[in-house]
């Protein structure tokens, strides 16, 4: 039993897989891996880049430099070829929608026999994969892209810290030697296209003796470089879908002009040199290590409202843009952890082969947006709820103490403060507080049962 069990109950998160699901997973896992008509790309020395200890490895990457930029080889776990449509594993994945992460364990989309073993792109194992090959110009422009089923083999499991350290020392792994240059070029191209990215520090919950502690995690450049490979592939997939008028996109409408003007005015008021820069360029220049900039990033969150999914078949959708990414985007790179990716991948495979999209995929498209909306709701509630509980556990014996904090949000109905030490983001009472102001606050309450922490200004 842990403090997070009540959260699991509240969100109705399953604690096990039914036996028929596990039995089918074991049968799938026992199937031999063979070329089976696939392109054999075991000659490419793929590597994976994930958090330390991860076992559900969806993606493996190999990069090459070309005369005018880069060639991205991106292998994705081939869930669609392994999981029978309408079978027990498939039906259970629809009930779950996506993997949910809690501090004391995951609630996985697929049974671990598949997600952490047979389908995971673990090192030194032959694996069935969906292989994207994407051309990228030196300025970061997306070129041609192909996708096919392949047989691949990863040679190493890397983590972000190791990739960053190797890059900083000038000795990156040969398979991702070009990652820094590719990542920076792609990021610059997306910012130029108006991509609105916040770059906010993330709160991570860790075990701390008999309790729990929250730590701030600020993304390293290597995190962003690796993310750019996934975003690049998702944008190539979206382009393919839109050209053929069938698929499922992740969308986010453009920010309202009034909100953009308000954000830029707020940036100027906080001393940021705005000049003729766009909101995307201002956000890209902020430093998450500076509390004042974190406050402005929080303010920028108002520009990113209305995210969702849209499925279409026969005509392009009215809304196809993702403002946070800077263009149309489809999720196709995490099928072990997200339901929509399996279907988006199958659409692209059919289109690339000049074949009809399978009927089981077309039938499912219309249901995906609602299924993913509910899955995202649960995942977000679990993430925020777990962090709130951990903050309350960490602070429950410190009521009445004074801390230094930065006001990162100050609306008429809500004030939020950020503490650097301890790593807390919580509500604060009081009026007339200004975003970006550094103030002293007193901890008024830390209610573990409610998962709520409240401060007040000194």
**Segment 375-395, tens digit of pLDDT:** 999 999 999 999 999 999 999
Mark whether 246 and 333 lie in a shared domain: yes
Cα gap 164→408, rounded to integer Å? 29
In order, the DSSP letters of 196-265 are ------EEEEEEETTEEEEEEEPPPHHHHHHHHHHHHHHHHHHHHHHHHTEEEEEEBPPPPHHHHHHHHH
Cα gap 299→386, rounded to integer Å? 24
Mark whether 245 and 378 lie in a shared domain: yes
Mark whether 407 and 375 lie in a shared domain: no
**Maximal CA-CA distance, the chain:** 70
The reply to whether 21 falls in a domain is yes
Mark whether 26 and 64 lie in a shared domain: yes
The reply to whether 268 falls in a domain is no
Look at 72-86, 146-160, 203-217 and tell me which has the smallest mean pLDDT. 203-217
Q: What mean pLDDT is predicted for residues 305-317?
A: 96
Mark whether 115 and 245 lie in a shared domain: yes
- Among 358, 383, 408, where does a domain finish? 383
- Among 349, 383, 417, where does a domain finish? 383
Find how far residue 292's CA is from the centre of its chain. 25
The reply to whether 295 falls in a domain is no
Mark whether 456 and 310 lie in a shared domain: no
Can you read off the two tokens belonging to residue 162? 């190791």
> Residue 37 — very low, low, confident or very high, per pLDDT cuts 50/70/90?
confident
Question: Residue 43 contacts by C-beta under 8 Å, 6 or more apart in sequence?
Answer: none
Check which CATH number belongs to the domain holding 448 and give it.
2.40.50.140
Cα gap 196→189, rounded to integer Å? 12
Can you read off the two tokens belonging to residue 47? 């590597």
Percent of the chain residues past pLDDT 70, beyond the cut? 100
The reply to whether 137 falls in a domain is yes
Look at 67-71, 191-195, 200-204, 397-401 and tell me which has the smallest mean pLDDT. 200-204
Mark whether 414 and 368 lie in a shared domain: no
Give the residue numbers spanning the domain of 405. Answer: 396-458
- Structure confidence by residue, pLDDT tens digits, 410-451: 887 789 999 999 999 999 998 888 888 899 999 999 999 899
pLDDT, residue 1, reads 65
Q: What mean pLDDT is predicted for residues 24-38?
A: 92
The reply to whether 190 falls in a domain is yes
Cα gap 6→291, rounded to integer Å? 33
pLDDT, residue 269, reads 87
pLDDT, residue 34, reads 81
Give the DSSP H or E segment for 299.
Answer: helix 291-300
Question: Residue 204 contacts by C-beta under 8 Å, 6 or more apart in sequence?
Answer: 214, 215, 216, 217
Query: How many domains, in total, are found in the chain?
Result: 2
At CB < 8 A and 24+ separation, what contacts does 305-309 make? 305/253, 305/255, 306/252, 306/253, 307/250, 307/251, 307/252, 308/250, 308/251, 308/252, 308/369, 308/373, 309/248, 309/249, 309/250, 309/251, 309/340, 309/368, 309/369, 309/372, 309/373
pLDDT, residue 431, reads 84
Q: Are 458 and 440 in contact (CB under 8 A)?
A: yes
> Residue 210 — very low, low, confident or very high, per pLDDT cuts 50/70/90?
confident
Mark whether 377 and 401 lie in a shared domain: no
The reply to whether 272 falls in a domain is no
Q: Is 359 exposed, middle or buried (0-12, 13-18, 19+ CB in 10 A)?
A: exposed
Q: Is 155 exposed, middle or buried (0-12, 13-18, 19+ CB in 10 A)?
A: middle
Q: Which residues pair with 416 in a beta bridge?
A: 409, 427
Cα gap 426→417, rounded to integer Å? 6
Percent of the chain residues past pLDDT 90, beyond the cut? 87
The reply to whether 115 falls in a domain is yes
Mark whether 142 and 73 lie in a shared domain: yes
Mark whether 248 and 129 lie in a shared domain: yes
What values do phi and psi take at 230, rounded to 5?
A: -65, -45
Q: Which residues pair with 456 in a beta bridge?
A: 442
- Among 383, 406, 437, where does a domain finish? 383
């Amino acid at each position: 039993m842990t403090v997070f069990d009540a959260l699991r109950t509240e969100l109705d998160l399953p604690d096990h897989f039914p036996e028929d699901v596990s039995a089918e997973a074991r049968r799938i896992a026992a199937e031999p891996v063979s070329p089976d008509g696939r392109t054999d790309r075991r000659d490419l020395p793929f590597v994976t880049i994930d958090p330390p200890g991860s076992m559900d490895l969806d993606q493996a990457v190999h990069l090459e430099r070309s005369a005018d930029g880069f060639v991205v080889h991106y292998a994705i776990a081939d869930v669609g070829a392994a999981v029978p449509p309408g079978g027990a594993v498939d039906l259970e994945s629809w009930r779950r929608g996506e993997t949910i992460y809690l501090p004391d364990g995951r609630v996985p989309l697929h049974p671990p026999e598949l997600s952490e073993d047979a389908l995971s792109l673990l090192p030194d194992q032959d694996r069935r994969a969906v292989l994207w090959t994407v051309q990228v110009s030196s300025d970061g422009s997306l070129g041609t892209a192909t996708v096919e089923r392949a047989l691949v083999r990863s040679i190493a499991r890397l983590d972000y810290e190791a990739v960053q350290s190797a890059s900083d020392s000038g000795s990156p792994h040969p398979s991702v030697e070009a990652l820094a240059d590719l990542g920076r070029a792609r990021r610059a191209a997306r910012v130029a296209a108006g991509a609105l990215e916040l770059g906010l520090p993330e709160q991570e919950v860790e075990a701390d003796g008999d309790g729990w502690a929250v730590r701030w995690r600020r993304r390293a450049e290597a995190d962003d470089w690796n993310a750019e490979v996934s975003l690049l592939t998702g944008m190539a997939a979206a382009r393919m879908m839109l050209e053929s008028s069938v698929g499922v996109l992740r969308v986010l409408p453009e920010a309202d002009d009034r909100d953009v003007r308000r954000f830029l005015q707020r940036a100027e008021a906080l001393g940021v040199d705005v000049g003729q820069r766009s909101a995307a360029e201002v956000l890209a220049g902020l430093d998450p290590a500076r509390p004042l900039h974190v406050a402005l990033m929080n303010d920028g969150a108002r520009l990113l409202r209305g995210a969702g999914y849209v499925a279409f078949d026969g005509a392009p959708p009215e809304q196809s843009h993702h403002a946070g990414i800077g263009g149309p985007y489809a999720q196709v790179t995490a099928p072990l952890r997200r339901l929509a990716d399996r279907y988006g991948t199958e659409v692209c495979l059919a289109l690339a082969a000049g074949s009809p999209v399978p009927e089981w995929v077309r039938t499912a498209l219309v249901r995906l947006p609602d299924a993913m909306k509910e899955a995202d709701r649960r995942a977000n509630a679990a993430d925020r709820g777990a962090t709130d509980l951990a903050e309350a556990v960490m602070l429950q014996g410190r009521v009445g103490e004074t801390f230094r904090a930065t006001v990162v949000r100050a609306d008429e109905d809500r004030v939020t403060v950020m503490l650097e030490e301890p790593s807390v983001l919580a509500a604060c009472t009081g009026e007339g507080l200004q975003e970006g102001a550094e103030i002293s606050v007193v901890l008024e309450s830390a209610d573990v049962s409610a998962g709520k922490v409240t401060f007040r200004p000194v």
